[in-house]
Chains A and B, each alone.
Chain A
């Protein structure tokens, strides 16, 4: 996945080095990109992810059916090209292909939005704690520790049961739990960045703390954050699927991959395609995201330069 950061926004070793690096086109990001391109597994994963993304967005246009209309005369029909039910139909005759694409939209959207929530909270929390240090750091990280020790899945289940299945609530609930890891990682990284000369120089020049965090700390965190984001999205998709599987996620007739797997598992003895297609899409997406995250981590690892 590309990162929207230009070469000159990341001064790894002070600005004179940076000019030389930009001139020869070998910045951290450029090198990382070159290394990522050489990693065939990661490139393949990115391409497959792109295809899945295109499919879930445009796939429903290929079908004459919509995701909500039941066809009572074609209940649990097997996949067939003639009828246009490419993935068959479900237990009330809805087109499984369109539903799988729709479920994919939902799963991917939950993954991206909740990761976005986690990203904003986690980076802000971690960077402030790491930069401020001392008592502020202590209190902030103690809060993270306490939240970390809670069995969060159970509280999320409780939340869904209590307030009904609300898609907005899913985003908030998952995002508000998954940021803890992000905060810890960002804090650790900030602590080490804080010791670097360019931060010291900025402090000596009297640059305000907020500006230092925003202009100098956060851009240097992007590498580790990018890796972490690609590894968080599959985690979130998994949590949403888990909730949907328990019947607590998205509400009918809307759907997600987890909800489809749940429905498919109930009829698998006579209609295995209902389980197979959503499960395959879910697994392929998680697989590719994990591969891509690993590739990114290797590509951004400065030890391998």
Chain B
């Protein structure tokens, strides 16, 4: 009987790509153990990978979409937020074409999300102006 459940995954910090197991207790990440089978890290982690999980359950996490109304960001539903985006982007596209957009993708997010943003830019907005933070 073990208290924590272990989920094998990859460290989210630097590009080394260390293997780690998130230690989960009652739906919360409480700690980290290394993934000894990782050919990259072979059981090693650094201070961020081993201990830097505090942000996951931070009370500051965004839990709902926010939409600016009268100058302030207000809570909104996904439907409200995405409808607003679709309408506003539709207008920009009409007036400026694809050249009116830029999309800045994330070196922190998954391949799948990066691919989706790339597809969205090209196929939906009609722009090739997609970049990521590799220059910072």
Are A and B subunits of one complex?
A: no
